[in-house]
Amino acid sequence: MGNKNKFSDFRVTARIDQVGIGDRIARIRSRSIKKEAKLQGLKMILNMIDLTTLEGADTTGKVQQLCNKAKFLHASNPELPTVAAVCVYPNFVSQAKKELEKTRIKVASVATAFPAGQSSMEVKIKDTKLAVDGGADEVDMVISRGRFHQGEYSYVYDEIAAVKEACGKARLKVILETGELGSLDKVRRASDIAIYAGADFIKTSTGKIKPAATLPVTCVMLEAIRDYFYETGSMVGMKPAGGISNAKLALQYLMLVKETLGNGWLSNEWFRYGASSLANDVLMQIEKQRTGIYQSKDYFSKD
């Protein structure tokens, strides 16, 4: 099924030292970044953002507007990098692919009955193939949290492995919806299951519930990625999503990635932000660093 390494008995994963995690996050939050390093970090963040529209009221016009924004950010200032991807529902993938065909921006799509994940395996596989057949470069799936809470870890593992197989060449991001998992120990267990089942990325949240991404949860997930890398030599990506709306917080995530995983993960191949509203604040901060003057929020589209 394309799984990386059989995690057959779902061994008892590392117990999480919540005090230790809290201390690490407090140190990250207390740090300041010098101007040149900050500007470099802001550009890096912009290049790691997945611009996203995932609403019931999405239309072809809204998807076109989002794709235009993704293209315009770079076209208006070639010194700026592009965003990493535009993420849409499966039925909009072919449109987004066409809109972005002359760019390096990838098209991502949610699947597997996003955001609740409450559907059959058959429907989830069809949903995934709809996205892939439309041309999606990446697929963001949600795990079956109900099955996870029932202790059916083998089911969760097998489902991820099956979706990974259905993805073909598309990269798979596995959403844990950490705000529903209940503890950092469960976040670690879910991370391990997703990684061993074949995830190319593990992702905190759908962005539809609170809390979404947090620094402590991200730290636990990064440690799971680190330990897997030490064991196998294989890299897995990370995507915090939801609740990251300003550049200051995004820079703290970047510092956490660097300290936990090293420079090898500091690219959009291995780290992403699921936070469309973040792009505007990053652009404002870049201009502040470059000119010393803040631009008005009205200069940027909200989509």
Q: How many Å apart are CA 214 and CA 191, to the nearest integer?
A: 15
What are the pLDDT digits (tens) for 125-159?
A: 999 999 999 999 999 999 999 999 999 999 999 99
Q: Which of 38, 137, 239, 281 is catalytic?
A: 239
**Annotated catalytic, 239?**
yes
Coarse DSSP helix, strand, coil percentages of the chain, rounded to the nearest 5 percent: 50, 10, 40
Q: Which percentage of the chain shows pLDDT scores above 70?
A: 91
Q: Please name the helix (run of DSSP H) or strand (run of DSSP E) that holds residue 131, with its range, or none.
A: helix 121-133
**What domains sit in the chain, N to C, each tagged with a CATH number?**
34-293 (3.20.20.70)
What are the pLDDT digits (tens) for 236-292?
A: 999 999 999 999 999 999 999 999 999 999 999 999 999 878 999 999 898 888 777
Supply the pLDDT for residue 275: 83
- The structure tokens 């996203």 sit at 52
Q: How many Å apart are CA 125 and CA 62, to the nearest integer?
A: 27
- Supply 215's token pair: 């620094």
Q: Which percentage of the chain shows pLDDT scores above 90?
A: 81
Helix (H, G, I), strand (E, B) or coil at 25: helix
- Residue 56 sits at φ, ψ, to 5 deg, of -65, -25
Supply the pLDDT for residue 28: 95
- Supply 103's token pair: 């760019």
> What Å distances lie between residue 122 and 113, 128, 144, 158, 294, CA to CA?
11, 10, 14, 13, 51
How high is the mean pLDDT of the chain?
91
141: β partners: 174
Parallel, antiparallel, or unpaired for β 171-175 and 50-52? unpaired
Lowest mean pLDDT among 23-32, 74-83, 113-122, 180-189: 74-83
In this prediction the pTM is 0.92
Supply the pLDDT for residue 7: 53
Q: How many Å apart are CA 106 and CA 61, to the nearest integer?
A: 19
Supply the pLDDT for residue 193: 96
Q: Which of 38, 71, 106, 203 is catalytic?
A: 203
> What Å distances lie between residue 197 and 94, 98, 236, 263, 291, CA to CA?
28, 32, 12, 25, 47
- The structure tokens 């703290």 sit at 252
Q: Which of 50, 127, 140, 281 is catalytic?
A: 140
pLDDT band at 2 (very low <50, low <70, confident <90, very high): very low
**Annotated catalytic, 140?**
yes
pLDDT band at 55 (very low <50, low <70, confident <90, very high): very high
